[in-house]
Structure 1
């Protein structure tokens, strides 16, 4: 029996996933969580095989949760299910340790297929993500600057874009203020912007956060 965790801050989304998976005889909901902090707390107590992880969570983002999972539960499958299309986050999340990426409007069959693929220890790549990866490999796709950010840089970028201060980010991520400032400088350089306001504008323009 595959044990599945659903991590999403919208109850209606969790309910939808729960109803879909209830039709599968070999799948069971291990737990549900509405925040990153709650998800990590539940993982310490409840083993599971696959985590369905939203990116836009209150508090610790899906990027934060993914990083912690990869540090402490390396064999755990993580399937990112996001409201953002593949162009926005798929390659970045796969590069930073996700086992698959799907949009929340995917159909029932694709969701179940993706879960089974990830649970078997393989990566699930949707048709659209496969196109993006192929374009990147062949050089046909220019790629967006944020897709080149490291896992930690992406964490810091999204928090800065949401208006968090360097000191608040340092406390949340258990880093020194100097280290976060260094990451901030790298992000500014890689995205070719000069301020936090421009970081936020970039994130909104590319649909990485909601204005």
Structure 2
């Protein structure tokens, strides 16, 4: 997986199918995620920072975006995106979400001017890339405040009339290294209250937003 993103990091945005397909899930998830101006939001598996522009509109320059990713090459692209747009409120941390210590990451965030725990957290199309996504989900929860809002956007096989597009969806997930049958949003449904369920692109994109139960 790391080799895959090391090779394609510079071209990821162009090859990922972002605007024809996957942008819709990001927009729905972030729109439904309760974010306040001046708040801090954690982006787990932030990749090249494709969520950042949407999050900036919600937290404002007075807020903070914390991006975590295991790939230094993807983080370099995220850093360039932030620099290009003048976003000085972005903190980037290289860490594997399936093995990180929340206490250690919290300390690293605080050392960069953020807070150890965020007011909200999201993972878009990242948990399905992780064999041990449950571990990453648990760490994501522990890096938020007791009443934080949480969001997962990920993929499954299309449903209904769109089921005919399943081979294309499977191919896209295979190319990106994602497990289309992982269904990581089930962790949020289990662990959060007031869960809001939505979908897009023929059910291929699944969006869940909920409130952490302390």
Larger radius of gyration: 1
Structure possessing the higher relative contact order (Cα contacts under 8 Å, 6 or more residues apart): 2
Q: TM-score, normalised by structure 1?
A: 0.30
Answer 1 or 2: which has greater helix percent: 1
Q: TM-score, normalised by structure 2?
A: 0.30
